[in-house]
Amino acid sequence: MTDQAPRIAVVGSINMDLVIRCQRLPVPGETVMADSSHEICGGKGANQAVAASRAGGLVSMIGRVGSDAFAERLIDNLKAEQICCNEIRLSDCESGVAVVAVEESGQNSIMVVPGANGMVSPKDVTASEPIIRDADVLLLQLEVPLETVAAAIALARRHGTRIVFDPAPAQQLPEELFGVDLLCPNQSEASLLTGIEVETEQQVAAAAESLQRRGARHVAITLGERGTWLFDGEQGTLIPTIKQGPCSRHDCRW
């Protein structure tokens, strides 16, 4: 056993989230006055990288930003989180942007412009092969092209790097993408991938077993405030949610 921090590679998205708070969401054709707006560095890939770094990992981010004013801020934010950005490449387009409108009730409406995230390619993965080869764990999600995710999984398998895959945003997947060490969908993603309604404990267990049969070594289905159902290939266990204090949306980056 070693005391060295785990080496973690992330292939994924880097976004600037534009969060707008309002009393209620507008209907088509309507203009409403909003209460506030905030620019928050995000993206599912960057969020994974930040979480891994804060948990003590040595993290390298593999992705792309654009040639706009957001690019430098996005990279500086990752560097401030002690994340290596040497494998972040520049594209001659806009950086990824998500516009999030949140009404007082908590209901929200989201529009995402992939921008540079849509240009993260299998060639980028190949160019970053030494990082993935030497990593203990590769983290993935679905805000970059499917062929890029497939290339990263294939490369990690070849080098024996463990793979943790969050299949979000939800979509149908080719079978070769299920062969990972840990697949961690939420309820709706697990339901889409298996065709099983995921609500009761029996349904959650059935969905996890279905995903394991399709190739995932372990499955973790997140259930919101109920916790996470972890299936290790033999038995399932419900892990309760860790209760935390309130988080200010102004300060929370992931």
Q: What is the pLDDT along the chain (254 residues), one digit of tens a residue?
A: 456 899 999 999 999 999 999 999 999 999 999 999 999 999 999 999 999 999 999 999 999 999 999 999 999 999 999 999 999 999 999 999 999 999 998 888 888 899 999 999 999 999 999 999 999 999 999 999 999 999 999 999 999 999 999 999 989 999 999 999 999 999 999 999 999 999 999 999 999 999 999 999 999 999 988 999 999 988 999 999 887 655 443 344 33
Question: Which residue type does 177 have?
Answer: L
Phi and psi, residue 48, nearest 5°: -60, -45
83: left (phi over 0), alpha (psi -120 to 50) or beta: beta
pLDDT at 246: 53
| Strands 83-84 vs 58-65: parallel, antiparallel or unpaired | parallel
Q: What pLDDT score was predicted for residue 251?
A: 41
Among 18, 22, 25, 140, which residue's Cα sits nearest to residue 68?
18
- Residue 152 has which token pair? 């990263």
Domain 7-13+43-94+116-239: top CATH class: alpha beta
Q: CA 248: distance to chain centroid?
A: 21
- Find out whether 191 and 155 touch, Cβ atoms under 8 Å: no
Query: In this structure, is the dihedral angle defined by the CA atoms of residues 29, 32, 38 and 44, taken in order, positive or negative?
Result: negative
CB atoms within 10 A of CB 134: 12
Whether the predicted model's global pTM rises above the 0.85 cut: yes
